[in-house]
Structure formats: C-alpha cells, structure tokens
C-alpha cells in the first residue's frame, strides 16, 4: 500500500512532487522500477532471440520461402533443404513422450501427495527430483547402452507379436528409432510432471478434501473429482513445462533417434528431430546456405513450440468448459 497521501489532481505541483519524493524514499518506486525492468528484460531477450533467428536465416528463407516447411529433402550437396521430416520427428517424439509421461507422472504425483505416508513421500520426491537434475547426455548414453538393446531383445518383439499389424509398428527394428527417442524423452520429462503436480496437489486446501469425505465420497472419488480439478491449472502448467523440455531436447535424442531425415509411418523406423539436427550439424556446416538453413530450422522449432502450446491450451480450455457445464 502506498504510504503517500492521496492528493487531488488540482493540487499544486509542489505538493505532488513532495508525495512522489516520499514514495521514492520509501522504496515503492524503486521496487516497481526493478520488477518492471526484470520483466521487460525477459521479453526483450525473447524478442532478440527471435530477431536473430529471423536475420540469420534470411538466405534460406529467401531461397525456399514457405516450401521449406513442406519439403522432405535434406541435401547439402545440391543445396536443397526442407524441414518437414524434422518437424515430424520433433512432434511425434514429443507427443509420444507426453502420452507415456502423463499417466505415469500424474499417477506417481497422486500417490506421493495423497496416499503415501509422509516419510516415503519425501524420500521418493527427493529421488525423483534428482532424476530431473541428470544431464541429458547421461540419458543419451543410457539410452544407447541400456535402453536400445533392451528394446531390441525383449520389448519390441513383444509389441510386434501383439500389435505387429498396425502401421506404426511395421518394419525391422534396429534399435535407433523414433520409438526409442520417445521413450528416452518420456523418462526425462516425467520428473517435471511429478514434482510440480505433487506440489500443486498438496496445496489444495484440506477442507475441500474433508468436505468431500464428509459427504460420503471414497478416497479415490475425492482425489478424482475434488482434488484434481482444484489443482488442474498447476497440473496443466507442469505438462506445458514437460512439453517444452521434450520439444527442445537435443543430446539424448540425437544419440538414439537414428539421424535419418525421413518420414515413415512406423515408429520403429529411424527419424530425426529439429534440435538434434541443429546440434549435430552446426559446427561442421561449411557453407552459408547450410548454416542459414539450420538457423531457419531453429526458427521453425520456435514456431512449432508456439503452435503446440497454443493447441494444448485450446484443448485444456475446451475440456475445462465442458467440465464446468456438467
């Protein structure tokens, strides 16, 4: 609350200056200035990144125009570049990672917040947050040496015997694939969903739960119909955070995805993602058009993140509205 006296507009300039000075002395103006500057710097940095992406990709944008988004060739020799296989790879791996991570993540968060005794809950939360701190290169190395052989030997043959006729599971599996990348990504993003969702679930007021139990609901009914809707904004926030990480993940993906710029219906085929392509090619890109095409890929990733987040928000809003009308 401002400590200054409310002065009518018609007051003498002298009195208005005095109240400004008193606000300044009390630190109000300074606090306002600092927080506004901090927020402005963030926005300015984002704008600067966007500006640089647009400027450095100029050569590729002029050469390819919008067809960059729809072309599938990536030919450095002929100087012909297209982003479609990478957009496909990025979207498919991220969506697959989310589809796996959300049920596991929410389930674990609900267990830790609602059902586990406090000691177990705290210990397990600590371990899960450690998972989030593991560098992504380690995930990549574990992916190649542990996950991929395990998938090749047991998991994929099992999937193929059950669902082998589906187009998404056709073809020979060589280990490195979109499927492996999706699984590695899901392991990486699960800790984000768990830790944020758990915090949000714990923050739901006790009286909500008690009221629901008092009305005769079981524990699960309470969780599903009272606690979770209360925490839904926080949970969706955690899912957005997880999606953002999945879209931008570089090292772990590049080691297990197979680096093949192609679009295949089967998840078992190798593919490539935008971040993985940029990271692996950037230092060795010898000509300006190649570099420019890579920067344009970065700009496309910016756009893909924007679009996916927007779609996710629309989806959330429509489900929430439906829920409200019930």
Are 193 and 239 contacting, i.e. CB atoms less than 8 angstroms apart? yes
d(CA 257, CA 269): 9
Nearer to another protein, 143 or 191 (CB): 143
DSSP helix/strand/coil, 270: coil
d(CA 193, CA 74): 35
For the CB of residue 97, give the shortest distance to another protein in the complex, in Å: 20
Nearer to another protein, 79 or 205 (CB): 79
For the CB of residue 43, give the shortest distance to another protein in the complex, in Å: 31
The torsion defined by the Cα of 156, 161, 166 and 170, in degrees rounded to 10, comes to 50
DSSP helix/strand/coil, 81: strand
For the CB of residue 69, give the shortest distance to another protein in the complex, in Å: 19
Nearer to another protein, 72 or 122 (CB): 72
For the CB of residue 259, give the shortest distance to another protein in the complex, in Å: 2
Structure tokens of 191?
Answer: 């800790």
d(CA 68, CA 294): 11
- The total of other beta-carbon atoms located within 10 Å of residue 91's CB is 16
State phi, psi for 74 to the nearest 5 degrees.
Answer: -135, 90
For the CB of residue 267, give the shortest distance to another protein in the complex, in Å: 15
Nearer to another protein, 207 or 284 (CB): 284
For the CB of residue 243, give the shortest distance to another protein in the complex, in Å: 25
Nearer to another protein, 210 or 287 (CB): 287
Nearer to another protein, 190 or 253 (CB): 253
d(CA 82, CA 87): 10
- What are the residues binding another protein (CB under 8 A)? 73-78, 144-145, 148-149, 152, 172, 174-176, 254-255, 258-261, 270, 272, 280-281, 283-287, 290
């Amino acid at each position: 609350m401002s400590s200054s006296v409310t002065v009518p507009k018609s007051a003498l300039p002298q009195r208005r200056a005095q109240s400004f000075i008193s606000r300044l002395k009390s630190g109000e103006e300074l606090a306002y200035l600092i927080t506004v500057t901090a927020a402005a710097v963030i926005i300015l940095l984002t704008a600067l990144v966007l500006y640089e992406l647009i400027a450095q990709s100029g050569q590729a944008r002029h050469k390819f125009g919008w067809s960059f988004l729809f072309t599938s060739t990536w030919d450095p020799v002929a100087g012909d570049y297209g982003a479609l296989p990478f957009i496909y790879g990025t979207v498919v791996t991220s969506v697959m990672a989310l589809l796996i991570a959300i049920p596991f993540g929410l389930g674990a968060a609900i267990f830790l917040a609602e059902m586990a005794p406090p000691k177990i809950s705290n210990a397990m939360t600590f371990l899960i947050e450690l998972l989030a701190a593991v560098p992504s290169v380690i995930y990549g190395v574990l992916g190649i040496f542990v996950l991929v052989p395990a998938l090749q030997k047991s998991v994929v043959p099992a999937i193929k015997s059950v669902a082998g006729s589906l187009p998404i599971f056709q073809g020979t599996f060589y280990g490195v694939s979109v499927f492996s990348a999706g699984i590695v990504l899901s392991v990486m993003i699960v800790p984000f969903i768990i830790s944020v969702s758990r915090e949000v679930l714990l923050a739901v007021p006790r009286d909500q739960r008690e009221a629901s139990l008092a009305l005769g609901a079981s524990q699960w009914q309470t969780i599903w119909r009272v606690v979770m809707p209360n925490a839904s904004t926080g949970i969706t926030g955690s899912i957005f955070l997880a999606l953002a990480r999945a879209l931008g993940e570089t090292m772990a993906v590049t080691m297990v995805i197979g680096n093949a710029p192609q679009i295949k219906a089967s998840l078992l085929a190798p593919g490539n993602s935008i971040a993985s392509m940029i990271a692996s090619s950037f230092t060795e890109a010898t000509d300006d058009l190649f570099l420019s095409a890579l920067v344009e890929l970065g700009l496309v990733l910016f756009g893909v993140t924007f679009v996916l987040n927007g779609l996710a928000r629309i989806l959330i809003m429509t489900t929430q509205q439906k829920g409200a009308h019930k």
